[in-house]
Amino acid sequence: MTVDVRIKADEARRLKNDSAFSAFVQEVRDDQVRVFTTSAASDVEAREAAHGIIRALNQIEAKLDAAMTAETLLDRKQRK
């Protein structure tokens, strides 16, 4: 399990530090915010879809952060 935590954390760190990945995520996020700001009042479906995509991006980022935090906690636990 220790190895799995470290591998996952390393992969998460690589993705978070990858400028291309970050740029693509930001581009998708910006596109969805644009849907919010330019949609007509009656275009509820488009806003709901955009909201879902933004939430998914947030979840991906949270998972990456959680993987790195798990490694930090493991390191602290092993030092004690």
pLDDT digits (tens, 9 = 90+) for 36-79: 999 999 999 999 999 999 999 999 999 999 999 999 999 998 88
Residue 39: CA count within 13 A, CB half-sphere: 17
Confidence of residue 80 (pLDDT cuts 50, 70, 90): confident
Residue 28 · residue 57 · CB < 8 Å: yes
For the cut 80, the answer to whether the pLDDT of residue 1 exceeds it is no
For the cut 80, the answer to whether the pLDDT of residue 34 exceeds it is yes
Calpha distance 35→30 (Å, rounded): 9
> Residue 69: which of 16, 24, 18 has the closest Cα?
16
